[in-house]
Amino acid sequence: MARHCFFVCRHLDIDNTPMDVDPGQHHQGPQAKSFIKPSNSCNLPSSFSSPMSSSMLADYLQRREKLIAEDRALRTDHVRWNYTAAELKADKVVRSIRAKEATTVWGIDHEHVPHPYPGMEFLNGKDLILQTELYEIVSKMPKGGLLHVHQNASVEAKTLLDLALSHPAIHIRVPSPLDAASLETVLPTIQPIPVEQYPATDVVGITDVLYAGGWVPIKKARELFDPALGGPAGFDKWVLSAFMINPSDAYNTYNTPMKIWMKFGSTFGVTDPIIRFVPIQKEYLRMFIRSSISDGISYIEVRTSFFKKYILAEDAKTKLELRELLLIFQEVTNEIKAELKAKGREDDFAGLKIIYNTLRIISSEELELELEQCSKFKQEFPNLIAGFDLVGHEDGAECKPLIDYAEPLLRFAEQHPDIPFIFHAGETLGDGTAADMNLYDAILLGTKRIGHGFSLAKHPKLMQICREKKIAIEVCPISNEVLRLTSSMPMHPLPVIMNQGIPVVLSSDDPAMFNSMGLSFDFFQVLVASEVTGLLALGHMARDSITYSMLDEQSKRTAMDAWERRWAKFVEEVAAMDP
Amino acid sequence: MARHCFFVCRHLDIDNTPMDVDPGQHHQGPQAKSFIKPSNSCNLPSSFSSPMSSSMLADYLQRREKLIAEDRALRTDHVRWNYTAAELKADKVVRSIRAKEATTVWGIDHEHVPHPYPGMEFLNGKDLILQTELYEIVSKMPKGGLLHVHQNASVEAKTLLDLALSHPAIHIRVPSPLDAASLETVLPTIQPIPVEQYPATDVVGITDVLYAGGWVPIKKARELFDPALGGPAGFDKWVLSAFMINPSDAYNTYNTPMKIWMKFGSTFGVTDPIIRFVPIQKEYLRMFIRSSISDGISYIEVRTSFFKKYILAEDAKTKLELRELLLIFQEVTNEIKAELKAKGREDDFAGLKIIYNTLRIISSEELELELEQCSKFKQEFPNLIAGFDLVGHEDGAECKPLIDYAEPLLRFAEQHPDIPFIFHAGETLGDGTAADMNLYDAILLGTKRIGHGFSLAKHPKLMQICREKKIAIEVCPISNEVLRLTSSMPMHPLPVIMNQGIPVVLSSDDPAMFNSMGLSFDFFQVLVASEVTGLLALGHMARDSITYSMLDEQSKRTAMDAWERRWAKFVEEVAAMDP
């Protein structure tokens, strides 16, 4: 396979550069409604399609090329890299499809899609995304590692509801009979209850005027749901709206970064008791890993909360220690690895690790206990525990800044070099607020990566440190947008970070709540929101997700080799497309 | 007056630093709803309000202080600067009022204000801003120069309507009688017409079913406006909605950067014929300068369009050459300067210059003619012509990128070093699009400042050049937000630019269309959207607006001295406040 030096290509064979834009898209007439007016970075100005008319201009164009190259020199996709012919061709194919769909998909009106454009609000644009050829390509891409995802937000809401419906222990309760009005505001309480608490056989439904507020088997509640309120389908709609953030929540009712967290928090409150139940937990985890693998994810580091101190046994009353949860993780991961091995698909999954996390509302004394617990788990499950983190709404009044925990964290870092910090920090619009200042502490405390780092772009010195020390940023595009830190992907500061040469890994954060399962949607949004970023840049982010994972060196090499094999196959397929 | 070194203060007298946050605001209870969770950059963590409990922590805090200082070292307000005691006190007073109002004004619900928060969408939040003590302070601040404003968008819409109503030549026309439905969509045509075209005395109103589409004197049209449609008040509302961008335009109907430009463009179409009429032009300019001075602006560089080749004489039919427009500028500016001098208020106004601009839709040949015209005007009015610019919707399909004009612009730059380029560039969300790439060309072509530069944050090399070559960025906060490049001020990339040490001047762009007259609203939005930026940072931006103006060195010194006198008085007044 011929491999060309990128910089040689840039000057000698300009059509093959990742930055090149199809000249056919330039100077479209006003009738062609397109949301991207392409640059002519590598094209000659229209005023001299004939041979160069002056040496002054020729000199100018040379200086321009040089300046653009210097400006982009720090990007991972613009560093000296020997791209294969297939990679360059695939990148070109993708750019061509993107340019076409900017007009054919995003440039026309669609009923039910307000203001379509590439990189638009995800919850409004999802149906359109699913119709694109570009999404089809992206969904097949090997994504590498998923490094920022919360375990209790990792399985599609509809699937979780099906899981709940399939288990006889799961019951539901509301304060009083539901009607059309209360349906809009009342959240269900859903949880497993012990068999001796099961209601009498002749239960009334939760929409029945005779309903008195007791537990109803969830399956029964669904069957009996008032046909006037939609029957079982109405039940599903109501429950799912409590499991997820809906477009009207994000873009209307709670349309600020502060308000949307109220809704966001409530979704965890509703779903957590269902997941924290061993039989469902196990199946939930299985589905999370399997669906991730289907999306091209070959490794996972999952943030798992140890804030609540138990999971519930099958009898729905015995509280098991959290060690049991780790055993479940181990069992399910090994089971899936064995399963894949039996099919000769070892390349598809390098495993799963846990980032132990608790909530940043606890006291320093409580944190000491958490750190102790984490280190005990690390001793027993050295390959499972990948790091430690503190999570919560950084802008929230009840959440503490990292500086408040500096002392125990400093001590821990000194004593436990085997358990790195992988902190959430800077998930905020604030400038100089506590959440923004968390970035200083995350870095000073030695964080290996930064979760979100949304406000990092404001910090020149911190960006330099991240670049030099290779602190990768776990960028969560759809999460940031749904949680209203940015109104759309083109408004996201990701290009600032990428162009500063800071390693970036794309992550999904809480895909169950954002209805954005897998990594394909996040990759898609990044791809359509920039003319600089192409398939090769996505490939580098996938590579970086393995490079900056917490895998040991040997496993990392194995995972990277597997990824490279899959990537080579993928780009060959894309390159062979005729857009 | 005692002047302290800033860096000494930072370490020895930490309470007086501009960055310091009132410790009383920290760890507020959950009942205190505030939208800014303050940082404790200079405070000790709550875990050791007692004496330091470990040398490890003490060392950590020292490293932290150092890192924060390094990170902010490039900011104009954090460079070594001898602040007076009054400046430091005034900054503290402003921070204290800001923190208070984050709760008392922005932290409570208000009828008719959806989702209030500091730095919220301007058109929704304006009424609340006007109620704040902070706005009152900001409105009194000496702002320095207004360096980015379009002449035909510089007087309040209501005032322009009053001007139109006061002149008998101004007539109005609509295609057919207005009714409740058409009122929502039909734009008026308003312009001066020659006396011989005046309609017969018994005109019918434009809402009258008998109205046949002819000219009606605007005053008459207002009087006769159907009471069922609101009568004269209804007329005003309708006309003003065509003069301006309303909240429902920006945040609903046209809520994307591409769509809002349709509405934006239409406002110029409606107002331009009224302004392009000598008697109104003169009064319009007078009002623009006077209202600017009232807002604390002491110097103006106004972008003036020479795209249309005439202004209309008092007879409403003679087309006068644009030289006449320059004579008007000269006459009105001198008149106001003389007026102020007579009152001993020379400090309040250093004058006005014009940045000659045309539209970036013209051909290269047409550009040659424009450049020639500009240089002729420069010869005749050397003190009036400050520079040259090309304007228009950079993302629009009909607008050409700067690279298309490279050749004539390069030649002109060589031949006319006395007429600098002051280009609009990067007013876009695009990444690598033509509008974004304009930044490379603006800089390579030698622009003295950059209009907007919204996408500059993505370009590390260009930011370095702007910092080193002192290319100031004309940041237009409210314009960027209303034109949907950012959804709110906290989402704006301004802190990225400031923290990179690039000079910033705040500007209003098209205040008539955004209902944001003066510079106070823009300064306010910047002030409330950051905990780092305080009054002293605003002061530096005002200073920079004089430093990076096109005034000659002598006039610059005079203007700066005048500004310093006013600033000293202003900070004394603020420092004396008891918040």
Is B490 within 8 Å of A429 when comparing Cβ atoms?
Answer: yes
Domain that holds residue B223: 158-268
Cβ-based contacts of B528 with chain A (< 8 Å): none
Cβ-based contacts of B495 with chain A (< 8 Å): 431, 458
Interval A349-408: pLDDT, tens = 999 999 999 999 999 999 999 999 999 999 999 999 999 999 999 999 999 999 999 999
Same domain, B335 and B475: yes
A255 assigned to some structural domain? yes
- CB interface of A with B, residues 295-334, below 8 Å: none
Question: Does residue B489 sit at the A interface (CB-CB below 8 Å)?
Answer: no
| Strand segments (E) across B134-192 | 144-150, 170-173, 189-192
pLDDT of residue A327: 98
Residue after which a domain boundary falls, among A268, A288, A314: A268
Closest alpha carbon to B350 in B561, B559, B144, B565: B559
- Kindly indicate the confidence band of residue B54, based on its pLDDT and cuts at 50, 70 and 90: confident
Nearest to A41 among B73, B432, B485 (CB): B432
pLDDT of residue B80: 64
- CB interface of A with B, residues 93-152, below 8 Å: 114-115, 117
CA distances from A100 to A24, A511, A579 (A): 11, 28, 9
pLDDT higher than threshold 60 for residue B29: no
Is B64 within 8 Å of A35 when comparing Cβ atoms?
Answer: no
pLDDT of residue B37: 54
Per cent of chain A over pLDDT 70 is: 91
Cβ-based contacts of B531 with chain A (< 8 Å): 430-433, 436
- Kindly indicate the confidence band of residue A39, based on its pLDDT and cuts at 50, 70 and 90: low
Residue after which a domain boundary falls, among A207, A238, A268: A268
Is B255 within 8 Å of A115 when comparing Cβ atoms?
Answer: yes
Locus of tokens 């009342």: A186
Q: Comparing A28-42, A233-247, A378-392, which segment has the lowest mean pLDDT?
A: A28-42
Interval B398-454: pLDDT, tens = 999 999 999 999 999 999 999 999 999 999 999 999 999 999 999 999 999 999 999
In this structure, what DSSP letter does residue B23 have? G
Interval A525-559: pLDDT, tens = 999 999 999 999 999 999 999 999 999 999 999 99
DSSP notation for A316-333: SSPEEPTHHHHHHHHHHH
Closest alpha carbon to A478 in A433, A518, A533: A518
Query: Cα distance from B573 to chain A (closest Cα, Å)?
Result: 27
pLDDT higher than threshold 70 for residue B11: no
- CB interface of A with B, residues 527-546, below 8 Å: 529-533
**Cβ A355 vs Cβ A422: under 8 Å:** yes
Instruction: Output the CA torsion B520→B522→B523→B525 (10° steps).
Output: 120
Same domain, A65 and A163: no
Cβ-based contacts of B73 with chain A (< 8 Å): 461
pLDDT of residue B53: 64
pLDDT higher than threshold 60 for residue B48: no
pLDDT higher than threshold 80 for residue A467: yes
pLDDT of residue A50: 41
pLDDT higher than threshold 60 for residue B44: no
Is B404 within 8 Å of A255 when comparing Cβ atoms?
Answer: no
The number of distinct structural domains making up chain A is 3
pLDDT of residue B6: 33
Is B493 within 8 Å of A430 when comparing Cβ atoms?
Answer: no
Question: Does residue B411 sit at the A interface (CB-CB below 8 Å)?
Answer: yes
**Cβ B523 vs Cβ B141: under 8 Å:** yes
- Kindly indicate the confidence band of residue A15, based on its pLDDT and cuts at 50, 70 and 90: very low
pLDDT higher than threshold 50 for residue A22: no
Same domain, B172 and B236: yes
pLDDT higher than threshold 80 for residue B196: yes
pLDDT of residue B8: 29
pLDDT of residue B328: 98
d(CA B120, CA B197): 48
pLDDT of residue B26: 34
B456 assigned to some structural domain? yes
Interval A298-330: pLDDT, tens = 999 999 999 999 999 999 999 999 999 999 999
Same domain, A554 and A405: yes
- Kindly indicate the confidence band of residue B555, based on its pLDDT and cuts at 50, 70 and 90: very high
- For residue A275, the domain's CATH number is 3.20.20.140
d(CA A315, CA B103): 48
In this structure, what DSSP letter does residue B93 have? H
d(CA A430, CA A396): 12
Same domain, A427 and A522: yes
Q: Comparing A50-64, A197-211, A414-428, which segment has the lowest mean pLDDT?
A: A50-64
B93 assigned to some structural domain? no
Same domain, B239 and B321: no
pLDDT of residue A173: 97
B400 assigned to some structural domain? yes
B168 assigned to some structural domain? yes
pLDDT of residue A2: 38
Q: Is A484 exposed, middle or buried (0-12, 13-18, 19+ CB in 10 A)?
A: buried
Nearest to B457 among A54, A63, A496 (CB): A496
Helices (H), B105-188: 122-130, 133-140, 157-166
Same domain, A34 and A68: yes
Q: Comparing A6-15, A201-210, A386-395, B26-35, which segment has the lowest mean pLDDT?
A: A6-15
Query: Cα distance from A545 to chain B (closest Cα, Å)?
Result: 23
Per cent of chain B over pLDDT 90 is: 88
Question: Does residue A338 sit at the B interface (CB-CB below 8 Å)?
Answer: no
Question: Does residue B500 sit at the A interface (CB-CB below 8 Å)?
Answer: yes
d(CA B338, CA B220): 38
pLDDT higher than threshold 60 for residue B42: no
Query: Cα distance from B25 to chain A (closest Cα, Å)?
Result: 11
Please give, one letter per residue, the 3-state secondary structure of A531-572: CCCCHHHHHHHHHHHHHCCCCCHHHHHHHHHHHHHHHHHHHH
Same domain, A385 and A492: yes
Same domain, B168 and B149: no
A17 assigned to some structural domain? yes
Report how many Cβ contacts below 8 Å link chain A to chain B: 235
B70 assigned to some structural domain? no
Residue after which a domain boundary falls, among B238, B268, B298: B268
Same domain, A143 and A289: yes
Cβ-based contacts of B466 with chain A (< 8 Å): none
- Kindly indicate the confidence band of residue B104, based on its pLDDT and cuts at 50, 70 and 90: very high
Same domain, A187 and A150: no
- CB interface of B with A, residues 6-35, below 8 Å: 19, 28-30, 32-35
Interval B204-261: pLDDT, tens = 999 999 999 999 999 999 999 999 999 999 999 999 999 999 999 999 999 999 999 9
pLDDT of residue B38: 53
3-state helix, strand, coil in chain B (%, to 5): 50, 10, 35
Q: What angle do CA B266, B271, B272 make, to 5 degrees?
A: 100
A575 assigned to some structural domain? no
d(CA A102, CA A116): 10
d(CA A406, CA A408): 6
Same domain, A325 and A391: yes
